[in-house]
Chains A and B, each alone.
Chain A
Amino acid sequence: MTPQCKPAGLKKTKLWEYGVRFAFGGLVTAGAGLVADGYGPELGGFMLAFPAILPASLTLIKQHDGRAKAVDDARGARLGSLALAIFGVTVGYSATSWPPVAALGLATLAWIVVAVALWAIAYGGGSAVAHRLNH
């Protein structure tokens, strides 16, 4: 199985649905700042992994494509969250010695590479791993 980019998929989503995601993402980001302000960066850091996109995505995918596709979306997010840990590790090691753009750029690249690699292992080749993850 190979991932396919279909820009037409953007048309399924209504403008107000993008608005909901914008508002929610903005609130979570502002909330993360408040938590870090009030309780320090240790607790504020946890907020950086708050599920900001997933709840709205699941709900919208269920409405547009059905429940089975929403299950698949949540399965993908499981792998994405593992890759997010690699993003954090990369920033943790590079933040004090690299320029901000380089540190965040490298971490984002690491997230993409790890997420895609995990997806390829889990779902790319109809492997035994994919069979286990799908049941």
Chain B
Amino acid sequence: MQRFDARIEPLQHGQRVLANDAAQSWHGSCYQPQGMLAELGFRFLLGGAIVSLFAAFAEMWDPKTFAGLFGAAPSVALATLALGFYQHGGSYVAIEARAMVMGSIALLAYSAACVAIAKTRRLPLAVGAAAAWTVWLVAALGLWRLGAMTGIL
């Protein structure tokens, strides 16, 4: 569901563009397939590097309750929002960030499910952690619907 407000938003470098325009340029024909592939490759490298960095940092900490904080670090968010600023401007990033707040509630549900799964000795942890993605998905879709209905998103 896309609902972009057609309002004028201030940008970083003194520019002023319609918030709608940023989204339309993204969906428009200015992105050629080759450019899109290059962008996906760049996203892959940047995201992989930041996720690896946080994961390695977590390895160095004890106790594991503290190291676990980094399991919910804003790794994907930093890579994506940085690119979002560059491509679309602050208004677009603000919309993503608001949705991310609701997504973090879904991540809380996922983490809680993982605590329960990790305690269950009969279930292989790798299988359980992967299956728990459905918890995140259901929670995220539910919150997305709720956000759309209440006008938060």
Task: Check if A and B associate.
Answer: yes
Q: Which residues of B contact A (CB under 8 A)?
A: 1-4, 9-12, 23, 26-27, 39-40, 43-52, 54-56, 58-86, 88, 90-108, 110-112, 114-115, 117-119, 121, 125-126, 129-130, 132-133, 136, 140, 143-144, 147-148, 153
* Chain B interface, DSSP helix/strand/loop, else mixed: helix
Please provide the 3 A-B residue pairs with the shortest distance between their CB atoms, ordered closest to farther. A76-B68, A29-B47, A25-B51
Q: Complex: how many Å from CA A25 to CA B120? A: 27
Q: Complex: how many Å from CA A29 to CA B79? A: 7
Docked-complex contact A91 and B93, CB < 8 angstroms: yes
Chain A residue at minimum C-beta to C-beta distance from B23? A40
Q: Complex: how many Å from CA A36 to CA B97? A: 12
- Chain A: minimal CB distance from B57 (Å): 9
Chain B positions within 8 Å of A26 at CB level: 43-45, 47-48, 51
Chain B positions within 8 Å of A61 at CB level: 64
Docked-complex contact A42 and B61, CB < 8 angstroms: no
Chain B residue at minimum C-beta to C-beta distance from A22? B48
Chain A positions within 8 Å of B72 at CB level: 51, 53-54, 77-81, 83-84, 115
Selected A-B contacts with CB under 8 Å, 5 pairs: A21-B55, A41-B92, A49-B100, A84-B100, A123-B66
Docked-complex contact A40 and B115, CB < 8 angstroms: no
Docked-complex contact B63 and A36, CB < 8 angstroms: no
Chain A positions within 8 Å of B52 at CB level: 18, 21-22, 25
How many A residues touch B, CB cutoff 8 Å? Answer: 90
- Chain B: minimal CB distance from A9 (Å): 5
Docked-complex contact B71 and A45, CB < 8 angstroms: no
Docked-complex contact B106 and A49, CB < 8 angstroms: yes
Docked-complex contact A29 and B81, CB < 8 angstroms: no
Q: Complex: how many Å from CA A10 to CA B99? A: 34
Q: Complex: how many Å from CA A104 to CA B26? A: 22
Within 8 A of B (CB), among A48-106: 48-59, 61-62, 65, 67, 69-85, 87-89, 91-93, 95-100, 103-104
Docked-complex contact A48 and B69, CB < 8 angstroms: no
Q: Complex: how many Å from CA A3 to CA B78? A: 25
* Contact A42-B1, Cβ < 8 Å, known A37-B26, A76-B66, A100-B12: yes
- Chain A: minimal CB distance from B83 (Å): 7
Q: Complex: how many Å from CA A97 to CA B85? A: 12
